[in-house]
Amino acid sequence: MLILQASNTSEMDLEHARFNMVEQQIRPWEVLDQDVLDTLYVVRREAFVPEAYRAVAFADLEIPLGEGEAMMAPKMEARILQELAVKPTDKVLEIGTGSGYLTALLAHRARHVVSVEIDPRLKAFGEANLRRAGVNNVTLETGDGARGWPKQTPYDVIVLTGSMPLLPDAFPRSLTVGGRLFAIVGDPPVMSGRLVTCVAERSYNAIDIFETCIAPLKNALAPERFQF
């Protein structure tokens, strides 16, 4: 009886922490789409966090994944999900699987997600997390997607989970008409969260939504620097 009570208390603590994450971090960051907020309750973030960081699974910080990689802060993941307006018919391309948490959020709302991870260690970690969570509409690929991923194009939604100084043309060109792309573009300390929409064949509308700063994708396209 004491064990059952402790288990119930632990579950209540988790749900209280999740509620606080949504109400104190995510809503104030202009994430108000109720479908997105509901998804954050369904896809359990703590199941995708490395064991050593479970206690801070809902904190407003980037959780380390090793070798310089990190999960984005919860408010960033939620804002990306809202801006992309993922629909049940969408095919999604994600560059950078990481822990698999954003992958799972996207998969909960989309028809299918293709997620590409350059680090085999992280790919295995994300794959195990997704399998335990019962997410079965994801195809994981190992490879370098920083300059584009031509397999299975076009896509309705594309999201890049690391920043890049320049956005390669290959990504917008891989969108369907009406497709949306989210990327964080620029150099530290100031980068912009950018939403690109394909409004017609080879015609795009891009808007910068907010300023932020996150680690770059490995092998991200960079401009030529002037050297003395």
Over the stretch 152-211, which tens digit does the pLDDT of each residue have? 999 999 999 999 999 999 999 999 999 999 999 999 999 999 999 999 999 999 999 999
Residue 147 domain flag: yes
Task: Give the structural domain span for 28.
Answer: 2-212
Residue 223 domain flag: no
Locus of tokens 């050297």:
227
**pLDDT tens profile 28-78:** 999 999 999 999 999 999 999 999 999 999 999 999 999 889 999 999 999
Alpha helix stretches (DSSP H) within 32-116: 34-42, 74-84, 101-109
Residue 136 domain flag: yes
CA proximity to 116, closest of 169, 82, 155 = 155
Residue 226 domain flag: no
CA proximity to 196, closest of 37, 101, 80 = 80
The answer to whether residues 152 and 91 touch, using CB atoms and an 8 Å cutoff, is yes
Measure the CA–CA gap between 149 and 147, rounded to whole angstroms. 7
Q: What is the CATH number of the domain that holds 175?
A: 3.40.50.150
For residue 7, name the pLDDT band (cuts at 50, 70, 90). very low
What total number of domains does the chain contain?
1
pTM, full prediction: 0.92
